[in-house]
Amino acid sequence: MIPAVRKAYNQQFTPAQYQAFLTGIAADTGVAPAFRVAETPVFVPAALSSKLVQACEEIVDVLLRPNFKTITRDAIPPALKVPHENEHPHFIVIDFAVCKAADDSLVPQLIELQGFPTMMAFQEVMARRFKTHFNIPDTLSNFFNGLDEAAYYQLLREMIIGPFAPEEVILLEVKPEEQKTRIDFYSTEKNLDIPTICLTSLIQEGKQLFYLKDGVKTRVRRIYNRIIFDDLQRQAGNLDTHVNLFQELDVEWITHPNWFYRISKYIMPFIHSEYVPKSWFLHELPVVPADLENYVLKPLFSFAGQGVLIDVTPEDIDGIKDPENWILQHKVKYAPAVETPTGPAICEIRMIYIWQDGAARPMLVHNLARISKGKMIGVGFNSKDTWVGGSCCFFEFGDPK
């Protein structure tokens, strides 16, 4: 998106560099990515960087409202509530589409947000490998708030491990070896020295949890949670015997599972910003718009784009049996903003926050990007194209003019 940087990158790119880049990622993590990694990062100009930060901070202001827990009391499905919810999430991710305004300038438009961690460790690996194998200007950064690689990992250690020994903290997932995000689990293990444990491997004694470390029963005092609980509910019947995580347990959560639902599509109707498309809960929709082609219908309780209806019809709306669990959102028009040697691409940018205990506000730390040439933006929808897939951004800061 920064024309001079984009042109130079495209001209200097070689397939050999890209292969070396992928080989370097595998060397750093111990495994190859299970999803397509794009040939390019996204270069974000100062004007768009400024708007992205502004949009995020306006959303954070909503999260800080004194009545936030009250307005989101119905966001958590009753069957999925977990005891001992804390005061705020430790991680927040906010996804924006890159679009164009009427004056042809690039603007962000909110797509999704979640009180949940993302590829926290792997994104640093990817960005570092882009800088190693390609000519990324030193004036651009993948970090925010003055962080560098060392400071970023120190922040993650303080957030995830805290006062405990690393072996007392686990990254918890369901069948982690089968997850497309498993490269991040490997990266987390390597950089934070905490184990990845499958839910079915947990041992419960009273309210305490344990796992076997080299054959020795080891106490779990904190869970770095990567389980999406509605997905767990769908899989439960096909899993081996496992601990019920919805009961009283003597364990800390990073991030507590309830925040996945509180900070989600559920709060989009409450956010009023030029960077947030107008949204309504379907059961509160005053009238069905005549121009439904300009709207998208989203289930509140889904992930990875599942269940989203892009081309909405009146029959779709009439067929929804639980309208309180859906939102109708003004459709976002992605801009073909990323020029590649095989044609223009669209992209989403994920802004990543951490929220330390005792901090007045969450802090913006890192990012993730997805590049696409199709209708759907997720990395699973672009397996046959090139110059698409998971990526990261390098931001230009300073004068946004």
- Binned at pLDDT 50, 70 and 90, residue 385 comes out as confident
Q: What is the pLDDT of residues 71-114, one digit of tens each?
A: 999 999 888 999 999 999 999 999 999 999 999 999 999 999 99
Q: pLDDT exceeding 70 applies to what percent of the chain?
A: 96
**Spatial distance between the Cα atoms of 231 and 301, rounded to a whole number of angstroms:** 10
Report the pLDDT averaged over residues 40-52.
98
Helices (H) and strands (E) in the chain, counts: 10, 18
- Binned at pLDDT 50, 70 and 90, residue 400 comes out as very low
Structure tokens of 41?
């990062």
Q: pLDDT exceeding 90 applies to what percent of the chain?
A: 87
Report the pLDDT averaged over residues 152-170.
97
pLDDT at 234: 80
**Spatial distance between the Cα atoms of 241 and 89, rounded to a whole number of angstroms:** 29
- Asked whether the predicted pLDDT for residue 214 surpasses 90, the reply is yes
Check: CB of residue 40 under 8 Å from CB of residue 371: yes
**Spatial distance between the Cα atoms of 236 and 200, rounded to a whole number of angstroms:** 10
Would you call 271 helix, strand, or coil by DSSP? coil
> Is the bond preceding residue 218 a cis peptide, omega within 30 degrees?
no
**Spatial distance between the Cα atoms of 288 and 167, rounded to a whole number of angstroms:** 54
- Asked whether the predicted pLDDT for residue 382 surpasses 90, the reply is no
Strands 208-213 and 216-220, bridge-based pairing = antiparallel
Q: How many residues does the chain have?
A: 401
Structure tokens of 93?
């991710």
Mean pLDDT across the chain: 94
CA 323 to chain centre: 26
Please, which residues have CB within 8 angstroms of residue 390's CB and are 6 or more apart in sequence?
33, 35, 36, 37, 38, 119, 126, 368, 369, 370, 379
pLDDT at 237: 76
pLDDT at 44: 98
Report the pLDDT averaged over residues 272-295.
94
Q: What is the pLDDT of residues 51-82, one digit of tens each?
A: 999 999 999 999 999 999 999 999 998 889 99
How do the domains of the chain map onto residue ranges? Answer: 3-277+332-396
Check: CB of residue 300 under 8 Å from CB of residue 326: yes
Q: What is the pLDDT of residues 10-21, one digit of tens each?
A: 999 999 999 999
At how many degrees (to 10) do helices 15-29 and 182-192 cross?
Answer: 60
Strands 346-354 and 169-173, bridge-based pairing = unpaired
Tell which wins on pLDDT, 401 or 294: 294
CA 332 to chain centre: 19
**Which amino acid is present at 199?**
L
Structure tokens of 200?
């079915």
- 341-350 as b/e, with b when 16 or more CB fall inside 10 Å? eeeebbbbbb
Q: What is the pLDDT of residues 114-159, one digit of tens each?
A: 999 999 999 999 999 999 999 999 999 999 999 999 999 999 999 9
Q: Where are the alpha helices (DSSP H) in 217-351?
A: 229-235, 259-262, 314-318
Question: CA dist 69 to 104, 220, 297, 308, 336, Å?
Answer: 38, 28, 25, 26, 38
pLDDT at 238: 83
Indicate the helix (H) or strand (E) that contains 385. none
- Asked whether the predicted pLDDT for residue 379 surpasses 60, the reply is no
Structure tokens of 15?
């397939």
pLDDT at 303: 59
Check: CB of residue 98 under 8 Å from CB of residue 1: yes
- Out of 53-67, 228-242, 309-323, which region has the weakest mean confidence (pLDDT)? 228-242
Check: CB of residue 197 under 8 Å from CB of residue 170: yes
Would you call 294 helix, strand, or coil by DSSP? helix
